[in-house]
Amino acid sequence: ISSPVDFITNIILKRSLSRQDRENIMKNLPNFKSELLLSFMDIGQKSALIYSQMSWYELATYTMEESDGVFSKVHLHIGDVVTIHEEDSGECYAIIKGIFKYKGNDDKYYAFITIDWFDNINRIHNVLKCPLFRIQTSQDIRWRRIFPISIIDHVQKVHFVYDTKIDLWIKNNYYFTAI
C-alpha cells in the first residue's frame, strides 16, 4: 500500500471483510464514486479514476511520524472513534465504518476509510454534564464519508458512550490516560 504523505509508512491492511459486510458498507455510501474521486484529489491525483480494483478490510496498521520526530504505531479497526481536524470546525469526531484499498491511476494501491461523523447537537447530558452527539445517518449527505487514512489525527483519544434511552452518544469528558 502506498502512502500519500511522507509522515505515514508501512501501511498494512489485515483481515478481509466478508461479502455481506462489504455490501452493508456500500449501501450506506450513495456517493461512493464522487467521494472517492475527491479523496484521490486530496492525495494529489486529479484525474478520473480508470480502475475499479478495491478490497475491504477489518483493520489497518501503519507507522506515523509525529511533528516532534517520534514514530508511533497506529492501529485502526472498524468501530474505532477517531479525531479529525476539520478546517472550518476544528476538532471533529467520527467512527470508522470501513477500511479499503483502491488502485490509483499510477498503478499503486492507496488506503481509505469510510466514516460516520458525530454531529454535536449542542445539548448537554442532564446528569453527566457532557456534550451529546448524534451519528450521521446514511441519508445525511452534508459531510463526506470517504477519506484517505492520512486524514486521521488521533485514534481513541476521545471516548463516547451510547445512551440507548435517548438514542444519542455522550462524549466522555472525564476519560483520561494514565501516565
pLDDT, tens only, 90-120: 778 889 999 999 988 888 899 999 999 888 8
Q: Is the pLDDT of residue 178 over 60?
A: no
The yes-or-no verdict on residue 179 having pLDDT over 60 is no
Find the DSSP H helices in the chain.
19-26, 32-42
Where do the domains of the chain lie?
8-118+141-157
Rounded mean pLDDT, 120-148 = 83
User: Rounded to 5, what percent of the chain is helix, strand, coil?
Assistant: 10, 45, 40
Domain 8-118+141-157 in CATH 1.20.120? The answer is: no
How long is the chain? 179
**Of 94-103, 131-140, 160-169, which has the strongest mean pLDDT?**
94-103
Tens digit of pLDDT for each residue in 151-162?
876 556 667 877
The residue among 102, 108, 60 whose CA lies nearest residue 80 is 60
d(CA 85, CA 91) in angstroms, rounded, equals: 5
Residue 176 has pLDDT above 60, yes or no: no
